[in-house]
Chains A and B, each alone.
Chain A
Amino acid sequence: MKKPLILMCVSLVLIAALGLGVVSAQEPVTLVFWSMWNETEGQARVLQTAIANFEAANPNINVEAVWNGRQNQTLVRTALSSGSQVIDLMDQDADQIAGGLMREGFALPLNDYLQQPAFDHEEVLAEVFLPSTLEMFALEGNIYQFPYIYNTVQFWYDKRIFAEVGAAVPQTWDDLLAVCSTLIDAGYAPIAAEGNEPGYAAFYLTEMLARLKGPGWLRQAAADATGEMWRDPAVLRAAQMTRTLWDNGCVPPETIGYVWPQGQTTLAFGTAAMELVGSWLPVELQTQTDPDFQWGGFSFPAIEGGVGSTSDVYALLLAFMINKDTAHPDEAFAFLRYVMSDEIQQLFTDESLVGVTNKYITWNPIIADASATAAAATSTYGDVDNVASLYSEYLNTILYPNYVSLWQGAVTPEAYIDMMATQTAEYWASHS
């Protein structure tokens, strides 16, 4: 629709440049952007708006977006390493970029660019980001990622059900178990969960160990070549707590047969009351919940004797990355700078119901509690306490499958400890 207009602009510029015999900064530039969104998703529509506005303001720049969906990084990497495509920028989960393209040296450092003034504020751009978002995956002082969406992992709950049974938001693990039994007595399934989604199940392990041993411990255990850290009593306790949820009926027994998204739809049905998951849940369920559904969120509760705090936040950022070989780094960054503007960031939270990284933006009321959690964060950690970005093969071949076995009750907590200790040692013996 807008193509003819752009073409006209481009050709005008071309004619002008030729006529004057000058190759100026107004030379037409095409930025190729491969995106993790599918065309139908709200986030993609906001990005389309951003692209249209950006192109209108910069007639010499044309942003060509390719909507790849969640396998984006794999596709980008494949395309870049085969040399079959020019790709200037891409976006994906920050954890995955950190473990993938960024670690392999495909990313452009952004430190200098981030010292440019913000799009619509008096300060430098870096200052506009919420604390500890830009630095989350910095490598030796270099910032390679440009986070623009902020998801928190926490319990999401149906406020009406909690009000109906008179349950308060649990502060401690014991509170949580008490709320569970209240809900069971009232005929509800307390916790919605998926039976075999490793990433979702491992939210529990991550949060339990973060509360018990503090953030950063799990990633050390994952990297422990002796595997002995897995024999720490805290791991056994976390494993037992996992089974307790199932044994008490907090997680109803039929959950074992739920394949994503069957578990989470029970929350939309009003049969289940809460789920430990990312702040994207309200978006995914918005066409299924009743119009008057009220979302609430609370942090994973504190565990008695644990050193972690409820203000340690499990944050899943989504970020842009600029290809270090791009011919147009300035133009690519100019686009990112615009995406970080209040206007676009506001649009993201209004239209696609997600949290954003711009500190001036109030998040959509539907995820107000995630906003509060993010604002109160004293520390943040990435997926599976950063194991996802640091040791993704270990995560997929050892940590996930074993935790899913425990989650589904195929092994006892004691057996789980043994499996983790021996398999971690074996893994590092063959991957040194």
Chain B
Amino acid sequence: MRVSNRFIALLILPSFALYLIFFIVPTIQALIYSLYDWSGFGAAPQFIGLSNFQELLNDRVFWRSIGNTVGILIVGGIVVFGLAFVMTMMLSSGIRGKKFFRGVIFLPNIIAVIALTTLWGYMYTPRTGLFAVIFDAIGLTDLARFPWMGPDTITIAMMIAIVWIEVGFYVVLLLAGVDKIPPDFYECAKLDGASDWQQFRHITVPLLSDVISIGMVLWSIHALKFFEFPFSFTGLEPNPSSYTVAVYLYILGFGQRQPIYRLGYATAIGVTLLLVVILVVLILRRLTRREVVQY
């Protein structure tokens, strides 16, 4: 369609101005701030080159937070997508109550995260929590006393809760894709004697590749900025052993109760996070780059 340049500018301008001022410029500023030592909004920043990044290399808390974040991204991602696939297959196998199940599985997505962390914190309580009582009831007393939120398992405990919350979103996404695959494809395959697995492997997955790659990009970006859950999951203050990068950045930049204000350093953490995002998106694009199947 041909339209005048004035018209193009008119329609683009409002969003582009906002986007430029509140998104692009701050991003560039962040890249600059990360080269400064800056101890607070009132203080004058001092240029220190790449020292912040050098310090990051030796910062154990930072590496741990990277570990947790990447753990959520990869392990969480595999579990979320695996489960979402299984559930999608189950839901699209012609069972009754499909809409009900789908609605309930998606439900946690609309609940405030703080409410969910409160709930999960209590479910994990040894002796009196929901899990403890269930395990007690079925005679697994050892499991009933298991310290879910102890140091070895807190990340896993957090991951389980996160999977429970997130999986619904991807089920809905995949299910929508499956629903749009013409049923004839399956009927033909069935006539040819294809098993369920073969149908899944040769019809569903290829036809969903678009949806899957969108889903994976969304998950990656979401997982890499994970904040709310670890921030409010553990007791009085977020716990260093379950920091994600976003939480650590917040603690260093804004402090919680402890007065730490290292704006330049915190921004350097943000820049590192951006690099990780770029890396992950590049990897994903390589992995998912194949012919898009049209139907």
Contact = CB atoms under 8 A, between A and B. Distances in A.
Interface of A: 70-71, 73-74, 77-78, 80-82, 93, 96, 99-101, 103-104, 194-199, 254-262, 388, 392-393, 395-397, 400-401, 404-405, 408, 410, 423, 426, 430
Contact of A392 (B41, B59, B124, B260): B260
A258 B240 contact: no
Q: Main SS of the interface on chain B?
A: loop
Interface in B43-62: 43, 54-55, 58-61
A430 B55 contact: yes
16 contacts: A74-B255, A81-B40, A194-B235, A196-B234, A257-B126, A258-B125, A258-B149, A259-B235, A260-B236, A388-B258, A393-B258, A396-B61, A397-B59, A401-B241, A404-B151, A426-B58
B121 interface: yes
Contacts of B146: 257
A406 B251 CA distance: 23
- Which 6 pairs, one residue from A and one from B, show the smallest C-beta to C-beta distance? A257-B147, A100-B259, A260-B235, A81-B41, A256-B150, A81-B42
B121 A259 contact: yes
Nearest to A98: B259
B145 interface: yes
A247 B27 CA distance: 51
Interface in B247-295: 251-252, 254-262
B102 interface: no
B256 A74 contact: yes
B239 interface: yes
Interface of B: 40-43, 54-55, 58-61, 121, 124-127, 145-151, 154, 234-237, 239-241, 251-252, 254-262
Contacts of B147: 195, 254-258
A74 B254 contact: yes
B150 A408 contact: yes
A413 B29 CA distance: 45
B254 A196 contact: no
A251 to B, nearest CB: 12
A410 B240 CA distance: 14
A82 B126 contact: no
Contacts of B234: 196, 259-260
A99 B261 CA distance: 11
A344 B260 CA distance: 33
B256 A71 contact: yes
Contact of B58 (A96, A400, A405, A430): A430
A424 B117 CA distance: 34
Given A77-B40, A257-B148, A400-B240, A96 B257 contact: yes
Contact of B61 (A99, A256, A259, A397): A397
Contacts of A256: 147, 150-151
Given A195-B149, A259-B121, A404 B235 contact: no
B92 to A, nearest CB: 39
A405 B255 CA distance: 22
A104 B60 contact: no
A408 B40 contact: no
B268 to A, nearest CB: 13
Contacts of A70: 257
A259 B241 contact: no
A397 B55 CA distance: 13
Given A77-B40, A260-B235, A196 B60 contact: no
Interface centre among B55, B146, B149, B260 (most CB of A within 10 A): B260
A70 B41 CA distance: 21
A259 B146 CA distance: 13
A192 to B, nearest CB: 13
Contact of B241 (A100, A196, A255, A430): A196
Contacts of A260: 234-236
A99 B256 CA distance: 13
A393 B260 contact: yes
Contact of A401 (B60, B145, B148, B149): B60
A261 B235 contact: yes
Contacts of B126: 254, 257-258, 262
Q: Which of B58, B126, B150 has the most CB of A within 10 A?
A: B150
Contact of B60 (A257, A395, A423): A423
